[in-house]
Structure 1
Amino acid sequence: MRLFMQTKPTGADAPRYYQLVLQQDLLGGWTLFREWGQQGSRASSKREVYLERDAALTAFEHARDAQLRRGFHVMFSQGFEGPHAR
């Protein structure tokens, strides 16, 4: 699953972005990748590993909801049908 969110540009500043990617690894675990920053600038990232799909999906949804509350808007989503697809 992949979700790309972005803020609206303000004045001369480029918009900020936040990307979430949830992937299953070869051993059956799940990895949640987070990447954020300002368009055209250096990005920050974080990787979290989960043994269970439900725990990984809960972390994905929590991260998504937190960024939506901060004013980010979904620009692109891939790999799931809705906010609570399981």
Structure 2
Amino acid sequence: MRLLMQQQPLAGEVPRFFQLILQQDLLGGWTLTRESGLIGGKTQWKREVYLERDQAQAAFEKARDQQLKRGFLVMFAQGAEAPR
């Protein structure tokens, strides 16, 4: 599952983005990758590993909801269970 969000920039500013990727690893666990930063500039990566899909899904939804509250808009959603 993948979600790309973008914040509307003020005049003359570079837009900020936030990306969430949730995928199953080879050992049956789940990895949640968060990437954020300026489009075309510096980015930050963070990876979290979960043993259960439900825990990973809850973390994905919590991160998504936090960014929506900060004014990010969903630009792209991919996956069989793409978030609303």
> TM-score, with normalisation over the residues of structure 2?
0.95
Amino acid at match of 1:50: Y
Matched, 1:18 2:18: yes
Amino acid at match of 2:15: P
Query: What percent identity do the matched residue pairs reach?
Result: 61
The change in CA–CA distance for 1:82 and 1:18 in structure 2 (over 3 A counts) is closer
- For 2:28 and 2:2, locate their aligned partners in 1 and report how far apart those are by CA, in whole Å: 18
Amino acid at match of 1:78: Q
Larger relative strand fraction: 2
- For 1:10 and 1:40, locate their aligned partners in 2 and report how far apart those are by CA, in whole Å: 16
- Structure 1: gaps (5+ residues): none
Matches within 5 A, 1:66-85: 66-79=66-79, 80-83=81-84
- For 1:30 and 1:36, locate their aligned partners in 2 and report how far apart those are by CA, in whole Å: 20
- For 2:75 and 2:25, locate their aligned partners in 1 and report how far apart those are by CA, in whole Å: 26
Aligned length: 83
Matched, 1:50 2:75: no
> TM-score, with normalisation over the residues of structure 1?
0.93
- For 2:21 and 2:82, locate their aligned partners in 1 and report how far apart those are by CA, in whole Å: 15
- Structure 2: gaps (5+ residues): none
- For 1:51 and 1:58, locate their aligned partners in 2 and report how far apart those are by CA, in whole Å: 13
Which SS does the other structure have where 1:77 is aligned?
Answer: strand
Deviation at 1:20, TM superposition (A): 0.0
Which SS does the other structure have where 1:76 is aligned?
Answer: strand
